[in-house]
Amino acid sequence: MEKLIALLIAAPLLGAAVLLLGGRRLDRVGHWIGTLLSTASFVFGLVLFTDLLGRNAEHRTLIQHLWTWIPVEGFQADVTFRLDQLSMTFVLLITGVGSLIHLYSVGYMEHDERRRRFFGYLNLFLAAMLLLVLADNYLLLYVGWEGVGLASYLLIGFWQHKPSAATAAKKAFLVNRVGDMGLSIAIMLMFTTFGSFAFGPVFGHVDGASQGKLTAIGLMLLLAACGKSAQVPLQSWLGDAMEGPTPVSALIHAATMVTAGVYLIVRSAAVFDAAPDAQLAVTVVGAVTLLFGAIVGCAKDDIKKALAGSTMSQIGYMVLAAGLGPIGYVFAIMHLVTHGFFKAGLFLGAGSVMHGMNDEVDMRRYGGLRKYMPVTFVTFGLGYLAIIGFPGLSGFFSKDKIIEAAFAKGGTEGWILGGAALVGAAITAFYMTRVMLMTFFGEERWKNQATRSPEAPSAEPAAEHRGETAEPHPHESPKVMTIPMIVLAVGSVFGGGFFSIGDRFLYWLEPVTGHSEGHSPVSAGEVTAATMVCLVIGVAVAWAQYGRKPVPAVAPRGSLLTRAARRDLLQDDFNHVVLVRGGEHLTRSLVYLDHTLVDGVVNGTAAGFGGLSGRLRRLQNGFARSYAVSMFGGAALLVAATLLMRAV
């Protein structure tokens, strides 16, 4: 059964190779090849899953050793895969959601002439992501990690003719490099500390390592997680990444890749459990990000960017839960899975809306679309209810558990983290209701485009690029797009309940991550009640602002906070002032130093040797007599030196 694990990765990798190397010949069938191989991988996943279910909990770890990658004395890197409950969960999420999104893309990318290449990249992403979650050592994980970074870069910049997309791709790549550095440093630290970077030896020897080293490793892993999962302070790339085609946003920048950081932290549970300081940092990052993302999500008029803020915020929840240790690991992953369903569904819904609205993304030019896109409306609406945590739906179960776990952390920390999570829940309800109302309810603001003010900020260059100025004719998307949305909506509705009832998910994952109940100062019922109150407040405020009053087609100036939030809470300004300007000053001074000092020394040395050479050269005057004298002098010196040596 272990032999199947490699096939999980091999299928999409083969797809990527065939599609990217196959050339134009495959243009007509390429998308189906990609979808087929992605589905094949999903089927392998299901086979393995049933096999795992048939085993006892303690025998559910499958190891497949393929070959030794770097066989150096004292530095052993193997290509070995580990399939346990944690990676199995990810495999199903990645291949399942991935296959649905492949299917959706068949319709969404129908008119794009580079569709084959798009599917090649999607397959490449699946292969890399599967490698990431199946690797049995950090070095191999790093390969997958870089692979998904590459796929993300290629896909964000897929519409490379748009300068904004090219810039966004570059930005995502650069910011991710910072996180990647963290991961590579963490791997090096592991090697110096444990003499290995394979999961077994590292986790097995945590007890013997010093606290300082473990904290350093933990913080470096956190840095890596921040980069990939768009957590503060490396969050700035995610909003811009929405420049990519919407299926990409759904698959990579909502459901799977951005959760790699959470995977990394949960996988490294042994390290974090032994380094409480690093754990605290993880919870702080998570709490800050969940509020940060939520606030940004409230102010965005671009539907995808609002959803991106929401993604950031929801991953903040997961990171927060992962930082809580054994209290939270299971719920971090559970929220990750349910979020994978409903966020992918929401993005696909957003894509469907854009598809029907001539690629318009500004919600202020939507409105009343429920009549025109009933399927999209219903699936999106179910996703919406799931994400705000409507009782009975997926998000309700998973988010509620995280808030409970945050309180269960205990002490002041517990109150602060729990409070932040509660506030986040209220804001989530607010911004998601806002998205819902602006898109599907209210007046149809897309009629009478003439009212559009010429000064209106252009939120979406794509619309201009495609030269769409005519009034859109909203319509429902084709079946190939709606079917994945329906499937995901089903997952959004029932996933959480299925996992939570009878603690199925807990028992499934516990052998890998461990679990403890913690000591909550408040009861589960009280937390649920508080969450409900927050939910109602959030929805009510949003209704008051966007449901009762008409939504202006041009954004009002807004408060200081709103304006800051529209600019992503000044993240780019901060980066510009601190990093870009600072970097410029640093490079300028270094260049100056290089020119004066380094070049001075180098050129001086060169000139010195040149001069010396010219002078020595004159000794070579061509006269045999001078040469003989030189030899004689040399011989005399040789003899004298030899005699002197003995005398000394």
Partner 1 sequence: MSTPAVHSLWTTAADRIPQIGAPKIEYGQLSPTLIIIGAALVGVLVEAFVPRRSRYYAQVFVSVVALCAAFAAVLGLAADGYGTTKAHIAAMGAIAVDGPSLFLQGTIVLAGLVGLFTFAERRLDPAAHGNRVDSFAAQAAAVPGSDAEKAAVKAGFTTTEVFPLLLFAVAGMLVFTSANDLLTLFVALEVFSLPLYLLCALARRKRLMSQEAAVKYFLLGAFASAFTLFGIALLYGYAGSVSYARIAQVVDGSVTDVNPALAGTMGNDALLLLGGALLVMGLLFKVGAVPFHMWTPDVYQGAPTPVTGFMAAATKVAAFGALLRLLYVVLPGMRWDWRPVMWAVAIVTMLGGAIVAITQTDIKRLLAYSSIAHAGFILAGVIATSKNGVSSVLFYLAGYSFVTIGAFAVVTLVRDAGGEATHLSKWAGLGRRSPLVAAVFAVFLLAFAGIPLTSGFAGKFAVFKAAAAGGAAPLVVIGVISSAIAAFFYIRVIVLMFFSEPKPQGPTVAVPSPLTMLAIGLGVAVTLVLGVAPQYFLDLATQASVFVR
Q: Which residues bind partner 1 (CB under 8 A)?
A: 606, 609-610, 612-614, 616-617, 619-620, 622, 624, 626-628, 630-631, 633-635, 637-639, 641-643, 645-646
- Provide Rg for the chain, Cα atoms: 30
* Closer residue to partner 1 (CB): 470 or 641: 641
Nearest distance from C-beta of residue 647 to partner 1, angstroms: 10
Q: Which is nearer to partner 1, 507 or 609 (CB)?
A: 609
Measured from the CB atom, the residue of 533 and 643 that comes closer to partner 1 is: 643
- The sign of the torsion formed by the CA atoms of 502, 506, 507, 509 equals positive
390-407 as b/e, with b when 16 or more CB fall inside 10 Å?
beebbbbbbbbbbbbbbb
Residue closer to partner 1 (CB basis): 536 or 628: 628
CB of 614 to partner 1, least distance (A): 5
CB of 363 to partner 1, least distance (A): 58
We find the least distance from the C-beta atom of residue 611 to partner 1, in angstroms, to be 9
Cβ atoms 428, 384 nearer than 8 A: no
DSSP label of 302: B
**Under a CB-based contact definition with an 8 Å cutoff, are residues 406 and 417 in contact?**
yes
Q: Dihedrals φ, ψ of 324, to 5°?
A: -75, -10
- C-alpha–C-alpha distance, residues 385 and 395, integer Å: 8
Comparing CB distances to partner 1, the nearer of 454 and 614 is 614
How would DSSP label each residue in 421-469?
HHHHHHHHHHHHHHHHHHHHSS--TTS-GGGS-TTS----HHHHHTT--
* Smallest separation (angstroms) from partner 1 to the CB of 605: 9
Between 410 and 634, CB nearer to partner 1: 634
Q: Dig out the tokens for 486 from the structure.
A: 């329906």
**Residues 6+ away with beta carbon under 8 Å from 332:** 262, 265, 266, 317, 318, 319, 321, 322, 402
Q: Measured from the CB of residue 619, what is the shortest distance to partner 1 in angstroms?
A: 8
3-class secondary-structure state, position 115: helix
On whether the CB atoms of residues 245 and 119 are closer than 8 A, the answer is no
User: For residue 536, what are the contacts with CB-CB under 8 A and spacing of at least 6?
Assistant: 429
Report the residue number, 593 or 637, with the smaller CB distance to partner 1. 637
Minimum CB separation from partner 1 for residue 624, in Å?
Answer: 5
State in angstroms the smallest separation of the CB of 625 from partner 1.
9
Token pair for residue 313?
């915020």
> Least separation, in Å, of the C-beta of 600 and partner 1?
18
Q: Which is nearer to partner 1, 582 or 604 (CB)?
A: 604
How many residues are listed for the chain in this entry? Answer: 648
Residue 472 CA: distances (Å) to CA of 372, 373, 467 = 12, 13, 12
Shortest CB 628 distance to partner 1, Å:
5
Q: Exposure of 449 by Cβ count < 10 A (0-12 exposed, 13-18 middle, 19+ buried)?
A: middle
Supply the angle between the helices 504-513 and 479-500 in degrees, to the nearest 10.
Answer: 80
CB 606 → partner 1: shortest distance, Å? 8
User: Given the complex with partner 1, which of 589 and 626 has the nearer CB atom?
Assistant: 626
Which is nearest to 51 in space by CA: 101, 90, 8, 88?
88
Which of 200, 610 has the CB closer to partner 1?
Answer: 610
Per DSSP, the residues of 538-587 read HHHHHIIIIIISPPPSS-----HHHHHHHTGGGHHHHIIIIIIIHHHHHH
Pairing status of strand 75-83 against strand 62-72: antiparallel
Structure tokens at 609: 């040797």
Give me the least distance between CB of 590 and partner 1, in Å please. Answer: 24
Least gap, CB of 635 to partner 1 (angstroms):
5
**C-alpha distances in Å from residue 174, one per residue of 142, 199, 597:** 17, 28, 30
CA distances to 187, 226, 318 from 328, rounded to whole Å, are 25, 18, 9
Q: Tokens 């399942």 appear where?
A: 96
Comparison of 24 and 617: residue with beta carbon closer to partner 1: 617
Tell which phi-psi region holds residue 569, choosing left (phi > 0), alpha (psi between -120 and 50) or beta.
Answer: left
Rounded to a whole number of angstroms, the minimum distance from the CB of residue 68 to partner 1 is 22
Nearer to partner 1, 21 or 616 (CB): 616
Cβ 638 to partner 1 shortest distance, Å: 5
Nearer to partner 1, 21 or 619 (CB): 619
Question: Between residues 507 and 627, which has the closer beta carbon with respect to partner 1?
Answer: 627
Q: What are phi and psi of 299, to 5 degrees?
A: -100, -10
Question: Cβ closer to partner 1: 592 or 627?
Answer: 627
